Amino acid sequence: MVIDAHQHFWDPARADYPWMAAPELAPIRRAFGPADLAPLLKANGIDASIVVQCRSSVAETEEFLRIAHATPSVIGVVGWADLTDASLGDTLGRLRALPGGAKLVGIRHQVHDEADADWLLRADVQRGLATLFAHDLTYDFLVRTRELPAAIATAKAFPQARFVLDHAAKPPIAEGGCAEWSDRIAALAACGNVWCKVSGLATEAKWSDWDAERLFPFVAHVAKCFGDDRMIFGSDWPVCLLAGSYGEIKSALEACLAKLGTTVRAKAFGVNAKAAYRLAE
């Protein structure tokens, strides 16, 4: 099974997406749903996908579960729930009981938008993560270089838990990279319980001036740190459309992974996502 482990659905006419307000995001400020994604999956040889949260809303998670219930190709949902809420366990139980609830595989919060770089280390957040892992769910890190130390400490605090790093922590590709990102990625990978999504990289480059060759040093570093078994492909559609088409994004990442060997490419396009999210067949 070939899996796109990171895609989104949204409709700005029905809900508020604060991160989408910037003028340069106007091209994607419209509705995107399963009917838009289906032909792209077919054209690019993708069998299934995981839909990932876009806003801090349990209602959105409920909607994604309904979509997953009605859409066989959506095999997983990484939703949102309030990690600081004392009744988080009840919320997760309720979500799991909904139609499509069996496809809830993880939770994510937009940590890089928090003012506090150490938000993950707050006592109430750590308690919430403990509750999350008690429900056998995966936690997606949405962080940049600034928040990586807190992510490293969190991964160490829960050695038996499963974490997925989204977008390789959004490396500063347009600026040519930085040693701080490289070193912190290596430290996070050394924890052993974190997978890394090779996703969202083209949009961290200059949108009108990028190619696989420019992405490759960052993919290669991730591969060196995480190895064959902990790299995961994700398109980041439709955010990726700011930089290129679905096909262009997939082809570029495929070219990068192919340089690293057939094993890493094969695992990154399915096997590793199954392990990270405990996906059912």
Cα(267)–Cα(54) distance, integer angstroms: 26
* Mean pLDDT of the region 150-161: 98
- Nearest by Cα to 222 from 193, 159, 264: 264
pLDDT tens, position by position, 175-189: 999 999 999 999 999
pLDDT above 90 (res 76): yes
- For residue 232, what pLDDT is reported? 98
List all residues 6 or more positions away from 59 whose beta carbon is below 8 Å from its beta carbon. none
Counting residues of the chain whose pLDDT is more than 70, the rounded percentage is 100
Q: Strand 48-52 relative to strand 74-79: parallel, antiparallel, unpaired?
A: parallel
Domains and CATH numbers, the chain: 3-277 (3.20.20.140)
pTM: 0.97
- For residue 262, what pLDDT is reported? 85
pLDDT above 80 (res 280): no
Q: How many CB atoms lie within 10 A of CB 272?
A: 26
pLDDT tens, position by position, 210-227: 999 999 999 999 999 999
pLDDT tens, position by position, 160-175: 999 999 999 999 999 9
pLDDT tens, position by position, 87-107: 999 999 999 999 999 999 999
User: 187 φ, ψ to 5°?
Assistant: -65, -40
Q: Helix 123-134 vs helix 148-157: angle between axes, to the nearest 10 degrees?
A: 50
| C-alpha 236 chain-centroid distance | 8
Cα(167)–Cα(179) distance, integer angstroms: 17
pLDDT tens, position by position, 110-135: 999 999 999 999 999 999 999 999 99
- State which amino acid sits at residue 180: E
- For residue 31, what pLDDT is reported? 98
Mean pLDDT of all residues belonging to the chain: 97
Q: How many CB atoms lie within 10 A of CB 281?
A: 5
Sign of the CA dihedral with 231 first, then 165, 233, and 1 last: positive
- Helix (H, G, I), strand (E, B), or coil: what is residue 135? coil
pLDDT above 80 (res 18): yes
Cα(226)–Cα(93) distance, integer angstroms: 32
pLDDT above 90 (res 281): no
- For residue 37, what pLDDT is reported? 98
- The answer to whether 84 touches 122, Cβ cutoff 8 Å, is yes
Q: How confident is the model at residue 259 (pLDDT cuts 50, 70, 90)?
A: very high
Angle at 132 between CA 126 and CA 135, to 5 degrees: 150
Please write down the HEC assignment for all residues of 197-231: EECCCHHHCCCCCCCHHHHHHHHHHHHHHHCHHHE
